[in-house]
Structure 1
Amino acid sequence: MSLDAKKLSPVKVAEMPPWPGGAAGGTPQEPARRRIQAGGYLMMLAAVAVMVLPLVWMMLASFKERDEIYTVPIQWLPESFDLSNYAAALAAVPFGNFFINSLITTLVGATLKIALGLTTAYAVVFLEFPFKNLIFGLVVFALLVPQQIVIIPNYTLVSDLGWINTYQGLILPGLASAFGTFLFRQHFLTLPVSVLEAAALDGASHWTRLWRFVVPISAPTIAAVALVSIVSEWNEYLWPLLVVDRAEMMTLPVGLTLLQNNDGVTNWGVLMAGTVLITVPVLLVFFLLQRRIVSGLTSGAVTG
């Protein structure tokens, strides 16, 4: 063997120094990556705690007596899970009327928002008409307008029409959903145009194409818009407070204020019980639609 061959001979594996971290420790960047992941998990847990702990406290406080809420140090668990606060809340104000009013305004308002968003987005994407891009630009601009700016004009119009203390006064001024239109439009841009073209060749009208082809394949986006609309309608407080002054037409958030005024701000057990009655239906809707929320909100996210 030549001298050069001897110089190039391989080194025994046992004589090679171990790589920092070794097989068990992974790459040199592995500890830093794990620290970053741990920090991310801690931040996520802190964010979840900030959102969940008030709900847990509200739920537990609804079973407590008045003296238990003011104990120091804080007593999280009630001494007994008594339903007296719920009975007092139901007896103090007509929660049945509040629930029916909220249910009507939420179902009708959310359904009309979804229908208007679907039809408007379909027209913007699949129809050709003058100033189409300008109209969509106005829809996007509407997202930037705070609701408080249009309250006075809407109230003046509703008052002139005689719609104070009516369902149409509660529902109609908030039907225009720029968010729903924008989300539907972004999703429709990702749909296969060939399917709609084939349907058009078979004689399907725009209405048929919308409800028989577009809507069935847009279920995740519809679920996302439905959830946002339902939560918005159910929790709406300022507008119903302005256009309703009779107890029989109040919705649940406004009725909760009536409960606070009747029972006093210090009786937090009764107030928390009323708040639980308002919150639970929205939480149930969220859990039913949560699987479709992410896919619906991210649908068409990279489409221009």
Structure 2
Amino acid sequence: MADVLLPPAPTLPGARHLHSGKVRDLYELTDGPHAGHLLMVASDRISIFDFVLDSTIPDKGEILTRMSLWWFEQLADLVPHHVVSTEVPDAVRGRAVVCERLAMFPVECVARGYLTGSGLLDYDATGEVCGIALPEGLVDGSRLPEPIFTPATKAELGEHDENVDYAAVESAVGGETAAALRELTLAVYARAESLARERGIILADTKLEMGARPDGTIVLADEVLTPDSSRFWPADDWRPGRAQPSYDKQIVRNWALSAASGWDRASGEAPPPLPPEVVERTRSRYVEAYERLTGESW
């Protein structure tokens, strides 16, 4: 397990800090009209290979928040979302939302329309992804015959999510809920894949988090369809058989693994601070993804 060191979460008036992840800080609101609700704050932190870097990407938290809000609107007729309000403390305005308390399902709901990442590793080893047999001859970046539901366990901070088969989801949440999660995940992917394709972007895969209200209603939570939770590729650069250019932190990963960084991944040490040009190139990719998908200027 990587040693994940997080900076102290900011103190916010009328809010009690509950938890910090690699990118987000979670609070309980204790005062005001939304007391008892949660406040989810997206920071500018960036993580690679289970390390949270000392360097940050300016505006990243706000980009992720605004992109999620845009997607929640596009998906509102498919599945309700957890956002209650965007009226948040001034210190985190633009990068935070007030959201519902939900009973979160202990599974990452992943949909894949293309083969890459951990799915490719599983396929190369077994010919399957999460127990789903796939045709022979697929390569990195291949489009799948149809999108598939490939769930994963939720890992602790500093550990990797682990792909599991559908039976593991049924065991964790029950057959009826498992079927609903699969159906909703694939419906969200289909809607988002179509919208992204209209804008010249391929949505290769996406990871969703869902929870339940007290009445059992399934709700889409956390972030949704951002470059941190999804693989977005420029459609005109798609070439199966190689790693695809991506609207995410691949720039940071590539630099960290290059000789220029001086970092040895096997050392167990965190990567060094990012050079300014890598920070700016990464920020530009996040901005470009936001603008191309939403049609809004940053």
Query: What TM-score do you get using the length of structure 1 for normalisation?
Result: 0.26
Greater share of residues in helix: 1
Higher relative contact order (Cα pairs below 8 Å, separated by 6+ residues): 1
Q: Whose strand fraction is larger, Structure 1's or Structure 2's?
A: 2
Q: Structure 2-normalised TM-score?
A: 0.26
